[in-house]
Structures are given as structure tokens and as C-alpha cells.
Amino acid sequence: MEKRAGFVRANDGVRLYYEDSGSGKPVFLIHGGGLSLGWWSRQVPALSRRFRVIAADTRGNGRSDKTPWGHRTARYAMDVRQIIETLELDDVTLVGWSIGARTVLSYIELFRDYRLKGVVLVDEVPSIEVHGPPEPGTASPPKDEAERKRWELRKMFVSCDVSDDELDRLLAESSENTPAQGVTLGPDYRAQDWRPLLPSIDLPVLITTGGRSGAFPGCKYMHEHIPGARMEIFDQSGHVLFYEESDRFNEVVAEFVDSIHSESA
């Protein structure tokens, strides 16, 4: 599948890197905080056989400019809008994981359904008050820096045995991410409460969550409070359900995209 890639310059001058594959109905993938579009490596090839798939590095991450400012979900949402406009996309399905899902909620708050067809919220909570307790653990992080980083990533997986090489590939894509984002993104995240917004959402919404993820209670809350929202639970997965159960995740997203377009037709 041919991949097109480039940069979109945001209105504050920051260059945002994106990759564009396939054709047809547009699906826009938004990764989690402090990571990169490389986390969608199990989605882009499969989904781009049926849709036009756009994945972007949020500012400060991956190949996007390493700016020290703008690390709030509202700014990320504006960046998403500017990529959508630059690529002249319409009827987009936004797929946001973790902080990417918060970015989707911020987009809806700011721009409502502008150029959107539907959204997929992947394993995130509307408020830190609606979160499952962390599983008790006694293991201490390894002292070796490389091992410690792998250890941190592995905590997100439940049923998938990810090799060191694969973890190192994911870490390498984030190795030059700007550390400045943690200064504002963390406090921004903790202060947010999207619960009042949920009943006003009038777009088709699919919520996907890992049955063994701490975000499960928050996803259940969103399902109960967003009118008409659908929810799919990936029982054997944690926070990275799209990685652990990638085939099922891809099919669930594809069915959702097809359904919201056929319903409007």
C-alpha cells in the first residue's frame, strides 16, 4: 500500500508530521501522550486496505516539531483540525487512544461535528475520578535505563508478550520527544472533567476498552452517558487493546465506519 507523508504547518508555526495511506472514507488515528504514530503499526496496513488512513505525530512527538509549548488537549485538537483542513478531509472518523481520546473530546467541545462522521474513543476516562484502582504490584523498576523503559511499557500489556526488539522500536520513535510536554500536559489532564460534555455529544460514538484496564470504569461511564454510544470490551486486554487484540480491533473499527456511512446514506 502506497504511503504518502508530509508536514502540515499549524497556525503557530509548528510543523506536524503525518502519514496518509489508502483511499476512501477517512479514518484519522491519534496516539497517546508522549508516544508516536508508530503505535498504530497494527492498524494502518489493515485499515488502509478499506479506508483512507491518516496517522499523525502530535506536536513534540515523533517526527513533529519539538516545541516546548502547546501541550494541552485543546491545542492538540486544533492541530487535528488543521491537518483535516489542509488535507481537505470530510466525513472523518477520529480514533483517539488514551490522551488521544481526550483530544477527540476536546475537538468535539471546540468544533462539534466539524468535518466529522463519527468518533472512536479508545480506553480513556472522562475524569481521573472514574478510574479503576491500579493492580497491586511488588516489583521494583529495573535499575538499567533500557530495561526500566521496557518495564514501563510492558505494564500496559496484559495478554500480549511483546519482544524487547518490538518495545525498543516503539521507544526509539519517542526517544527525541520533547520532555517539556510533561510540564503542562500532565496538569492539564488531571484538571479535565469531560463528564458534563458527554450528554451533548450527537455524533456516532464507539467506545473500545480493555476488560482488564484501569480505564474500564471510565469507558463504561461514557457509554452510559453519551446518547446512542456503542461499546466493545476486549476482555483479554489492558490499555493497549488495539495492539493485543489487533485483528478484532481493526474489524470492530471497520464495521463502525461502514455502519455510520451506510446509516446516513
Residues 99-113 pLDDT 10s: 999 999 999 999 999
Cα dihedral across residues 166, 169, 170, 172: positive or negative: positive
Q: List Cβ neighbours of 145 (8 Å cut-off, separation of 6 or more).
A: none
Query: In the prediction, which pLDDT does 119 show?
Result: 98
Instruction: Please say if the pLDDT value at position 56 is more than 70.
Output: yes
Instruction: Record the pTM.
Output: 0.95
Mean pLDDT of the chain: 93
Cα dihedral across residues 207, 212, 215, 220: positive or negative: positive
Best CA proximity match to 81, nearest among 109, 46, 44: 109
pLDDT band at 265 (very low <50, low <70, confident <90, very high): low
DSSP reduced 3-state for 185: helix
Report the first-to-last Cα separation within the chain, whole angstroms.
28
Q: Where are the domains of the chain?
A: 3-132+177-264
Q: What distances in angstroms separate CA 166 from CA 8, 44, 96, 170, 233, one per listed residue?
A: 29, 17, 22, 6, 25
Architecture of domain 3-132+177-264: 3-Layer(aba) Sandwich (3.40)
